[in-house]
Structure 1
Amino acid sequence: MTKTPTTACARPSKKSPHPHRNAAGSVQDIQFYRANEKPYGPFSNLFRRPVSFEGLVYPTSEHAYQAGKARKPAVRDWILSAPTPALAAMAAHGLYVWDVAPDWAQTKFDRMRRVLRAKFDQHEDLRQLLLSTGEARLVEVGTVNNAVNRLWGEVDGKGENMLGVMLMELRAAYVKEAAVATAKPARAGSKARTKAKTKSARTVVAA
């Protein structure tokens, strides 16, 4: 969402045996905001990577998200004509109430989750960056205290941090899916070995 630039990203502690834990073993926060910051700028929806979503290709995840706010295709196209993701967000925030999809308040979080899934599914390097954060708490940090910043991130440690929460949910989903994928061949191999042993035992008995 469109917010004022904030502090630099938190860096992993070099003194800690875990890349995102401090010396006491507590999980550290990874803060992000500016899309051009390294290494965690890609977590911002303003980061420039195309996202294929619902049959359209958007220049950024911000464009893909904000397009869902429009009631009519003409309004959506007007939002998407914005040359930058920040301007697309500004255009969407400024819509008259009658130009906003009537169920937007109920559907916006689901849309954001699906947009994020598409973004990280389609870009391996971004997915690996997300997974590299381990168990760290991801926080979008703003400096201007307003409702948008407090909803999608935090200001002075206060806010719902919904973007950070959704990224952590997505990270957990990737970890779970990888574990399931790894377990399937192991189970298949175990079944094959059991079947072979059973067949061998039957052969011995028959002999």
Structure 2
Amino acid sequence: MTIHFYAADEVPYGCFSNFSDHGFDLDGAWWPTSEHYFQAQKFKGNRHADLIRRARTPLRAAELGRDSSKPLRRDWERVKDDVMRRAVVTKFRAHADIRDTLLSTGEEKIVEDTTTDHYWGRGRTGNGKNMLGRILVRTRNQLHAELTAALHGGSRRPRR
């Protein structure tokens, strides 16, 4: 089975959306959503980044982040996946309820069900890279490993 998600208000998997209302602290600032964080990182270190962080909605943050009149940081294409990974893992570590939802998906494939984004989602043809879905699966595996280690005392065996 495959889990599909898209809109932030869909139950139970809307929390997988970058527009979901699950803020977090990262890099010394409060981010209302992972969309705010992701879009602002395109302009890290300048005033436009803070304008995005303070946007009233994730949609507005996305619009500001896609403003083609503002130059992206030079290394954006190289770092964007890592930026998304940091945002997603931080969001799910900060909120036990959505962490539980993510962990409850077991070994299922997770797909962002959008026809308009071939990179982050499944894309129009259904054969998109689904990078957000892949990052969610990686985050799920990482959180599962952390939880397992914590339950087993770091899973270290005593020396003999």
Q: Same fold (TM over 0.5)?
A: yes
**1:166 matched to 2:140:** no
Pair 77,57 (structure 1): closer, same or farther in 2 beyond 3 Å? same
**1:136 matched to 2:108:** yes
Partner of 2:120: 152
Deviation at 1:69, TM superposition (A): 0.4
Deviation at 1:51, TM superposition (A): 1.4
Pair 187,143 (structure 1): closer, same or farther in 2 beyond 3 Å? closer
Deviation at 1:183, TM superposition (A): 3.6
Q: Find the aligned partners of 1:31 and 1:186 in 2 and give their Cα distance.
A: 33
Pair 181,157 (structure 1): closer, same or farther in 2 beyond 3 Å? same
TM-score normalised per structure 1: 0.71
Deviation track 1:67-96 (CA, whole Å, cap 9, x = no partner) reads 100154211122234321012112111233
**Unaligned stretches of 5+ in structure 1?**
1-27, 196-207
Partner of 2:91: 119
Q: Find the aligned partners of 2:139 and 2:16 in 1 and give their Cα distance.
A: 12
Q: Find the aligned partners of 1:130 and 1:66 in 2 and give their Cα distance.
A: 23
Amino acid at match of 1:124: A
Amino acid at match of 1:160: K
Q: Find the aligned partners of 1:185 and 1:82 in 2 and give their Cα distance.
A: 40
Superposed counterparts of 1:42-121, under 5 Å = 42-70=15-43, 72-96=45-69, 99-121=71-93
Name the SS of the counterpart of 2:68 in structure 1: coil
**Aligned residue pair count:** 159
Q: Find the aligned partners of 1:92 and 1:51 in 2 and give their Cα distance.
A: 19
Pair 62,183 (structure 1): closer, same or farther in 2 beyond 3 Å? same
CA RMSD of aligned residues (A): 2.0
Percent of aligned positions with the same letter in both sequences? Answer: 38
Amino acid at match of 1:133: T
User: Which structure's CA Rg is the greater one?
Assistant: 1
Name the SS of the counterpart of 2:22 in structure 1: strand
Partner of 1:199: none
Would the aligned equivalents of 2:115 and 2:126 in 1 still touch at CA under 8 Å? no
**Unaligned stretches of 5+ in structure 2?**
none
TM-score normalised per structure 2: 0.90
Q: Find the aligned partners of 2:26 and 2:62 in 1 and give their Cα distance.
A: 17
Deviation track 1:22-54 (CA, whole Å, cap 9, x = no partner) reads xxxxxx110000000100000000001111110
Deviation track 1:90-129 (CA, whole Å, cap 9, x = no partner) reads 21112335x2111111111111101111101111111110
